């Protein structure tokens, strides 16, 4: 059985620089160490455009590549992101508290101003968890994987009538509405993009078929691609 993956959520202001660099650096380190944790990043007031050159230059110099994460647009922080995160790191405490004032022991705040400091804090966080100096994310039980272990899932792609912007579709799911929305949230977080869930069907922006099939198989679904 695959090990459940816990989510570390980095929250910045625009989700163009500090939070995005933290996400990419963390995921690179977690992959090398084979850790069951995955980072996402979101913005309180997402900016427009691409990641700035200094952020891209830093990642290139550090030898860290994640073309999908660097190319995607800024993502807005939603309540669902906060609810499903195992741990949260914020880069602007007043702004974050203005939106989520309730006490939350999953949250810590970093005042790092440059990318090298963020890199060091990411590695320090991992070392702290591995060394027992702080709470490591506990993998959450994948209830849907157990409940729907033999459930089918077909994954296709549609472009017709979408002005050239295709979506990945997930259908033939034996899920109720709440389970469908929960799975859609996981897949949107996995792909770092938007999507919808309704009428027993999930749509995720872009061509995410390979990534989604792999994730569905990991969760226990009988997933396969449909169409070309």
Question: Please, which residues have CB within 8 angstroms of residue 214's CB and are 6 or more apart in sequence?
Answer: none
Mean pLDDT of 78-97: 92
Residue 137 belongs to a domain: no
C-alpha–C-alpha distance, residues 205 and 116, integer Å: 32
Neighbours of 106 (CB within 10 A): 14
Three-state secondary structure call for residue 121? helix
The two tokens of residue 70 are 């660097």
Same domain, 66 and 125: yes
Query: Could you say which of 98, 130, 162 is where a domain stops?
Result: 130
pTM metric for this prediction: 0.59
Tokens standing for residue 29: 């380190």
Last residue of a domain, one of 130, 154, 178: 130
Whole-number pLDDT of residue 39? 94
Range of the domain at 202: 143-225
Mean pLDDT, the chain, integer: 85
Check which CATH number belongs to the domain holding 166 and give it.
3.30.780.10
Same domain, 21 and 122: yes
- Tell whether the model's pLDDT for residue 144 goes beyond 60: no
b/e for 53-84, b at 16 or more Cβ within 10 A?
Answer: eebeebbeeeebebeebbebbbbebeeebbeb
pLDDT for 49-72, tens place per residue?
889 999 999 999 989 888 888 888
Q: Residue 174: how many CB atoms within 10 A of its CB? A: 13
Domain boundary among 130, 151, 184: 130
- Inform me whether the pLDDT recorded for 164 exceeds 80: no
- Examine residue 1 and state whether it is found in any structural domain, yes or no: no
159 shares a domain with 120: no
Q: Is the dihedral of CA 218, 70, 82, 125 positive or negative?
A: positive
Q: Is the pLDDT of residue 137 over 50?
A: no
**Pair (126, 156) in one structural domain:** no
Residue 3 has pLDDT above 70, yes or no: no
| 49/13 same-domain check | yes
Give 108's strand partners. Answer: 89
Structure tokens that stand for 206 in this block? 């872009």
Asked if residue 121 and residue 48 are part of one domain, the reply reads yes
Question: Do 18 and 102 lie in a common domain?
Answer: yes
Nearest residue to 43 via CA among 57, 22, 65: 22
Q: What are 198-212's pLDDT values in tens digits?
A: 888 999 988 889 889
Pairing mode, strands 167-171 and 107-109: unpaired
Query: What is the model's pLDDT at position 218?
Result: 83
Residues 111 and 90 in one domain: yes
Sheet of 87-90: strand order equals 37-43, 6-12, 87-90, 107-109
């Amino acid at each position: 059985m695959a090990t459940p993956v816990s989510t570390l959520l980095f929250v910045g202001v625009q989700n163009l620089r500090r939070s995005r660099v933290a996400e990419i650096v963390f995921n690179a380190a977690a992959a090398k160490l084979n850790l069951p944790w995955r980072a996402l990043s979101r913005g309180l007031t997402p900016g427009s455009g691409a990641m700035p050159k200094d952020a891209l230059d830093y990642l290139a110099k550090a030898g860290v590549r994640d073309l999908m994460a660097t190319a995607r647009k800024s993502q807005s922080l939603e309540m669902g992101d906060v609810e499903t995160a195992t741990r949260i790191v914020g880069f602007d405490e007043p702004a974050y508290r203005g939106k989520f004032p309730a006490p939350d022991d999953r949250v810590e705040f970093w005042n790092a101003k440059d990318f090298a400091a963020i890199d060091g804090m990411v590695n320090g966080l991992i070392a702290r968890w591995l060394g027992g100096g702080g709470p490591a994310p506990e993998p959450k039980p994948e209830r849907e994987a157990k409940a729907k272990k033999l459930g089918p899932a077909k994954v296709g792609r549609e472009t017709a009538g979408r002005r050239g912007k295709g979506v990945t579709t997930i259908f033939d799911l034996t899920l109720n509405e709440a389970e469908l929305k929960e799975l859609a949230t996981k897949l949107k977080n996995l792909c770092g993009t938007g999507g919808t869930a309704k009428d027993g069907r999930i749509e995720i922006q872009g061509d995410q078929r390979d990534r989604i099939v792999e994730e569905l198989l990991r969760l226990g679904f009988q997933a396969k691609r449909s169409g070309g």
